[in-house]
């Protein structure tokens, strides 16, 4: 999956919430579809196609891919809300 991403941009794939959202949506909706696909360069099920082309498997190190996506997205929200709350509390640009 990462052969098309330059080496110095792979970190951005893991930091971007959109990639985690797409991983969760695609694996939850299409990750268990066993319908056969036939096309140029591929013949197999939808589940295999997603695993081969996108690298989205149902489990990642024994953990559900959807559950991992939910956890990461909740942590992103906590991180951004926390940084906003701290910046509003600490940073004050008013001149008195």
pLDDT of residue 39: 84
pLDDT tens, 3-49?
A: 777 888 888 888 999 999 999 999 999 888 899 988 888 899 998 98
Q: What is the rounded distance in angstroms from the CA atom of residue 63 to the CA atom of residue 20?
A: 15
Q: Please tell me what DSSP assigns to residue 83.
A: H
Question: pTM of the entire structure?
Answer: 0.78
């Amino acid at each position: 999956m990462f052969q098309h991403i330059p080496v110095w941009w792979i970190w951005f794939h893991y930091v971007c919430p959109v990639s985690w959202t797409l991983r969760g949506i695609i694996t939850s909706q299409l990750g268990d579809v066993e319908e056969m696909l036939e096309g140029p360069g591929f013949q197999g099920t939808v589940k295999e196609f997603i695993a081969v082309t996108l690298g989205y498997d149902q489990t990642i190190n024994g953990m559900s891919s959807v559950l991992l996506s939910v956890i990461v997205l909740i942590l992103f929200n906590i991180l951004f809300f926390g940084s906003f709350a701290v910046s509003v509390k600490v940073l004050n640009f008013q001149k008195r």
